[in-house]
Amino acid sequence: MEAVIKILEKPAEIDWDYDEEADVLYLSVGEPRPAVGVDIGEGVIARYDETNKEVVGITLIGLRARLLKELKQDSRADES
């Protein structure tokens, strides 16, 4: 039997915070709340509320660094 997990059901508000020093973006559905972090790869952590069985946020690690890397690759490809 497959586990039931609520992902997002059109939340009224997405709260976010960016830690510039650590280069981490935190996105929360509504106000941030306690949750378990589930590493889903490539610097992405899903925040999961075990009690309500729902994803309540996403953490993106190294966002600026990855974005700059992709932009540099895209600009090099455009020059070719």
CA distances from 77 to 6, 63, 68, 69 (A): 39, 21, 14, 12
Best-predicted range by mean pLDDT among 3-7, 36-40, 70-74?
Answer: 36-40
Q: What amino acid occupies position 34?
A: P
pLDDT at 1 over 60: no
Of 34, 22, 31, whose CA–CA distance to 62 is shortest?
Answer: 22
> What per-residue confidence (pLDDT) applies to 75?
74
Q: Which residue has the higher pLDDT, 26 or 74?
A: 26
pLDDT of residue 18: 96
Domain boundaries, the chain: 14-79
User: 55 and 44 in contact (C-beta within 8 Å)?
Assistant: no
Helix (H, G, I), strand (E, B) or coil at 35: coil
| pLDDT tens digits for range 18-68 | 999 999 999 998 888 899 999 999 999 999 999 988 899 999 999 999 999
Token duo for residue 7: 């992902």
